[in-house]
A = this chain, B = another copy of it.
Amino acid sequence: MSEGINRQVLLARRPVGEIRDQDFELREAPRPEVGGGQFLVRNLWLSFDPTQRGWMSDLPGYMPPVPIGGVMRALAVGQVVESDHPEFKAGDYVSGGLGWQDWILTDGMTEVGPLQRVPDGIDPKAMLSVLGITGLTAYFGMIDVGQVAGGDTVVVSGAAGATGSVAGQIAAIKGASRVIGIAGGREKCGWLTDVAGFDVAIDYRTENVLTRLADEAPNGIDVVFENVGGDILEASLANLAMRARIALCGAISTYNQVEPSPGPRNYLQLVIKRARLEGFLVLDYAPRFGEAVDALVGWVNEGRVHYAEDIQEGLENAPATLRRLFSGQNLGKQLLKIADAPIA
Instruction: Give the B-binding residues of A (Cβ under 8 A).
Output: 60-62, 229, 248-251, 254, 260-281, 284
Contacts and interface: CB of A to CB of B under 8 A. Distances in A.
Contacts of A269: 279
Nearest to A284: B274
B279 A278 contact: no
A266 B251 CA distance: 11
A280 B274 contact: yes
Contact of A60 (B254, B270, B272): B272
Contacts of A261: 265
Nearest to A250: B271
Contacts of A277: 267, 270, 276-278
Contacts of A281: 271-272, 274
Contact of A262 (B250, B265, B274): B265
Given A248-B267, A254-B268, A274-B278, 7 more contacts: A60-B272, A262-B262, A263-B265, A263-B266, A269-B279, A272-B281, A274-B284
Given A278-B276, A278-B277, A260 B266 contact: yes
Contacts of A270: 248, 277-279
A260 B260 CA distance: 17
Given A262-B263, A262-B265, A276-B278, A271 B284 contact: no
Contacts of A271: 62, 248-250, 279-281
A266 to B, nearest CB: 6
A274 B267 contact: no
Contacts of A273: 279
A288 B201 CA distance: 42
A90 to B, nearest CB: 39
A251 B60 CA distance: 26
Given A60-B272, A271-B280, A278-B276, A263 B264 contact: yes
A99 to B, nearest CB: 22
B268 A275 contact: no
27 contacts: A61-B272, A62-B272, A248-B268, A248-B270, A248-B271, A249-B271, A250-B268, A254-B268, A260-B266, A261-B265, A262-B262, A262-B263, A262-B265, A263-B263, A263-B265, A263-B266, A267-B267, A269-B279, A270-B277, A270-B279, A271-B281, A274-B279, A274-B280, A274-B281, A274-B284, A276-B277, A277-B278
A157 B265 CA distance: 19
A134 to B, nearest CB: 15
A265 to B, nearest CB: 4
